[in-house]
Amino acid sequence: MTKRFLQALKGETLNPPPLWLMRQAGRYLPEYREIRASAKNFLDFCYTPDLAVEVTLQPLRRYGFDAAILFSDILVIPDALGQKVEFVSGQGPQLAPIKSEAELEAILNLDGLHEHLKPVYTTVHRLSKEIPETTALIGFAGAPWTVATYMVEGKGSKTYEEIRSIAYSDPVFFQRLIDMLVEATSLYLIEQVHQGAECLQVFDSWAGVLSERQFHTWSIEPMTRIVEKVRAVHAEVPIIGFPRGAGPLYEAYVRETKVDGVGLDHTVPLTWARDVLQPLTTVQGTLDNLLLVAGGEAMDAEIKRILETLGSGPFIFNLGHGIVPQTPPEHVERLCALVRGEA
Ligand code: CP3
């Protein structure tokens, strides 16, 4: 059975383009909120295959997306490495921060990684058997830089001042941390493919705060190593990189990491993406997630503009960042109809 999502990642131009949405499983769906209430905390939820499989399938039933993304979180990696991670409701993730080489050596290690992540692998395996035969299964991880921001700052940040400063002032510690994350992330992604993932996406959600030199060192270089490590084991699996906010540095990212697809945020000019990025790789995006909240004429017009500009090359329709909880599910329905040419 051909899966349209995988065809697009091989460089085929499809009309209509395949469609899925980042964070397509989540709080905007009443059926998600209902199941979420039955788990005692968010990490437990991610580590319970019965629940994780069910919420992965929910948006497929409603919208018939071309891809399913494993339900988990990027912060299972620090958790599996031995750092204390908690999701506090209303406040987002909280970690016991690691700021020095001594703390890194004392706390983090790779030994229990696979054992700790077993429930996630079970979820992937079960999903590979349970999703519709035309739907592709995406495994994922956070990129080292983005995961490191939470590990060092201890929570989400607006400015990333602390981690950017440490990356300049203590490059030995910071390189050790990134190297460990390259290793852990590669092992994690390789095992997801063993268990049935057909594509991998690496989220570098906070890449946009880096200077040009830092972007090369802390986003491109680690991602290049992850791509090489994964391909050394699974030569065929397509890999999508999402260095959100990279601006003109998207081009160097695509050329150097050699990803099969690139996720574009909503700030990327569409004609530039068509002319510069699309000849190099499959592009994915780029609707502003807040326009999906707003809906109406403005959303319709932007969806049309995106389809007209990027639809003539290898393209996967998506948002520029994940769905937010206040999104009306009927706007997602409208988006699907427009992208599929049914509206
Ligand atoms: O459909 C999917 O995409 C589901 C899988 C998924 C989740 N998180 C579930 C989740 C994926 C791919 C992620 C990635 C993720 N997690 C990223 C990168 C992508 C991005 O959006 O930038 C980041 C930075 C995280 C870290 C994270 N996880 C934060 C900052 C938060 C709290 C913010 C919030 O919205 O509350 C989470 C929690 C989280 N991860 C939720 C979900 C559905 C909400 C928690 C809940 O239901 O209680």
Q: What is the CATH number of the domain that holds 285?
A: 3.20.20.210
The C-alpha R_g of the chain, in whole angstroms, comes to 19
Residue 28 CA, ligand 1 centroid: distance in Å: 13
Q: Which residue numbers are catalytic?
A: 23, 27, 36, 73, 150
From atom 28 of ligand 1, which residue's Cα is the shortest distance away? 73
Q: How does DSSP classify residue 29? A: S
Q: Which contacts (CB < 8 Å, 24+ apart) does range 179-184 have?
A: 180/81, 180/104, 180/108, 180/110, 181/77, 181/144, 181/147, 181/148, 181/222, 182/144, 182/222, 182/225, 182/226, 182/229, 183/110, 184/77, 184/80, 184/81, 184/110, 184/113
Cα–Cα distance, 114 to 45 (Å, whole number): 18
Q: Provide the token pair at 196.
A: 């049935």
Provide the number of structural domains found in the chain.
1
Which residue stretches of the chain have pLDDT < 70? 1
Enclosing H/E stretch for 136 = strand 136-142
Q: Provide the token pair at 292.
A: 């999906």
From atom 48 of ligand 1, which residue's Cα is the shortest distance away? 42
Per-residue model confidence (pLDDT) at position 90: 84
From atom 10 of ligand 1, which residue's Cα is the shortest distance away? 73
Enclosing H/E stretch for 164 = helix 161-169
Residue 72 CA, ligand 1 centroid: distance in Å: 8
- Closest Cα to residue 32, out of 47, 45, 13? 45
Does 126 sit in the ligand 1 pocket, CB within 6 Å? no
Kindly list the distances between the CA atom of residue 316 and the CA atoms of 136, 189, 255, in Å, as whole numbers in the listed order.
13, 22, 19
Per-residue model confidence (pLDDT) at position 89: 84
Which residue from 56, 73, 209 has its CB within 8 A of the most atoms of ligand 1, so it is best to mutate?
73
To the question of pTM greater than 0.85 for the whole model, the response is yes
**Which residue bears the tokens 């994922």?**
140
Print the domain residue range for 120. Answer: 4-339
What b/e string do you get for 40-62 counting C-beta neighbours within 10 Å, with b at 16 or more?
eebbebbbbbebbbbbbbbbbee
Cα angle: 105, vertex 107, 111; to 5 degrees: 90
Per-residue model confidence (pLDDT) at position 343: 85
Between strands 239-243 and 261-263, the pairing is: parallel
